[in-house]
Amino acid sequence: MPSARKDPVVGVVGATGLVGRELVELIKRRRLRVGELKCFSSGRTRAFVSFHGRRLAAPAPSERALADCDLIFLVSSDEVARMYAPALAGRGVWVIDDSAAFRLDPKVPLVIPEVNADALRLDRRLIAGPNCTLTGLAVAGAALHRALGVREVRVASYQAVSGAGKAALGELFSQSRALAHMGLRADGRAPILREGSCLVLPRAIAFNAVPQIGRFGSDGYSGEETKVAAELRKIWSAPNLKISVTAVRVPTIRAHAMAAWLTLAQPLSPARARALMSKTRGLTLHASGSYPTPRSAGGKMGVFAGRLRQGTGPRELALWIVSDNLLKGAALNSVQTAEVLLKKGWLKHR
């Protein structure tokens, strides 16, 4: 049950969305110290959220209502974050923002607790959470980077449709149902699927792979690819890191997967790399011959990696990484950050 009122008052903006509902559930499951939980929508509709058997109203947010909280989780849009986060943080409210609005702001810590919890500062109340794709790579490669220094990264991500929200999932399901009725052709051959109509994603996603997440820039990289590269440099404190990303949307429901190639400053064997990586908190490293998949990692905490092997030379390692984009990629990372604040004694009821 919720704690006494002396514990922090916690607000969740975007509580009715995919990530927001996961976050509210995690607050309960991990028994985060909460004197009172206030839920808000993203400002479009009034809805309700279940918490400890109670039905909590989730009205549109207002700065006045949010200012009564000691901690605000923002799991909404960049626009909502820009509207509320700076003012709230200026009033002494801790704000953990899951949007992209402040991730690259040099004055805002971009935090994955297993990797760079030391970036948290008592005088910086606005904290950014990372891109959900980046999280798995940042955690899996952290020990290698600390020990030897990662000089270059090449990565191809295979991203679940839930990363694009409820409407995108609806599009996946409706397209899949329509195509499933086609079956095999009369002559026994597999049907040839043409690009269908789509409203949310740039191409039809059912039974397809779409190498575009976000708009393309003048350099040919999509918005997602550019964000992953910039955020990894910030989290690893590696401004000169060379990184090339190809982001692909695939018809899975939850948990992003990626194939990564890491070039180190010095030669390193897969066996020694395994020994280093096995000490990383929050990382499950599969044995040789085993590997995670979006279905095996979906709904689970942490980051999962497998297929660790030598790359094209003695300084390059290749591996496969999967993590749930709604959990470690978003809601879980935010709750873990709040737990660090509590452990430090910084998060209190005012």
Mind telling me the catalytic residues?
Answer: 132, 256
User: Using CA atoms, how far apart are residues 174 and 181, in angstroms rounded to an integer?
Assistant: 11
Facing residues of 257 across strands?
Answer: 158, 322
The conformational region for residue 239 under phi > 0 = left, psi -120 to 50 = alpha, else beta, is: alpha
Secondary structure in 3-state letters for the chain: CCCCCCCCEEEEECCCCHHHHHHHHHHHHCCCCCCEEEEECCCCCCEEEEECCEEEEECCCCHHHHCCCCEEEECCCHHHHHHHHHHHHHCCCEEEECCCCCCCCCCCCECCHHHHHHHCCCCCCEEECCCHHHHHHHHHCHHHHHHCCEEEEEEEEEECHHHHCHHHHHHHHHHHHHHHCCCCCCCCCCCCCCCCCCCCCCCCCCCCCECCCCCECCCCCEHHHHHHHHHHHHHCCCCCCEEEEEEEECCCCCCEEEEEEEEECCCCCHHHHHHHHCCCCCEEECCCCCCCCHHHHCCCCCEEEEEEEECCCCCEEEEEEEECCCHHHHHHHHHHHHHHHHHHCCCCCC
User: Using CA atoms, how far apart are residues 204 and 168, in angstroms rounded to an integer?
Assistant: 10
Using alpha carbons, select from 139, 131, 321 the residue that is nearest to residue 213: 131
